[in-house]
Amino acid sequence: MITIEDKIAIQELLARFAHYSDYGNWAELEKLYLPDVVTETAGMDMTYKGIGPQIEHAKESDRQTEGKNRHLYYNLYIEEQGGEIFANYYVTNVNAGATPMASKIVVSGRHRDKVVKTADGWKFAHRLVTFDQSFSLDF
């Protein structure tokens, strides 16, 4: 059974992902994943397998947004299904812009992350992202 302490730790995992990814702390970001992590996007041909591709995607997002990429997570609920733990939440991806009033919403959607408790804390095992908008990326 998942405990309140586990739920708080999973919330921390999500927050750390956003902070490390959005502010370029790649070494700490790497520690949040299991070695065989997979990130998939529903209805799109974007899949990242392993830690390396996760980090490269984050670096390219950072480069293309000049360090202004921001992940905002909310409406989180955590559930146990068949002995596995899932974090379900909404995401809004924002480009913060360089000046006041220049920020803009890039995409919105939802995440369903399978997370696993390890000796080093909770880690991402599988991430499924479903965007509200259709688009393609060149990276």
DSSP state of 25: -
Q: Are 93 and 68 in contact (CB under 8 A)?
A: no
Q: What is the pLDDT of residues 24-35, one digit of tens each?
A: 999 999 999 999
Cα distance between residue 26 and residue 48, in whole Å: 16
Q: What is the pLDDT of residues 91-113, one digit of tens each?
A: 999 999 999 999 999 999 999 99
Q: Taking the model in full, what pTM does it have?
A: 0.93
Given the candidates 3.20.20.80, 3.40.50.300, 1.10.630.10, 3.10.450.50, the CATH classification of the domain at 4-131 is: 3.10.450.50
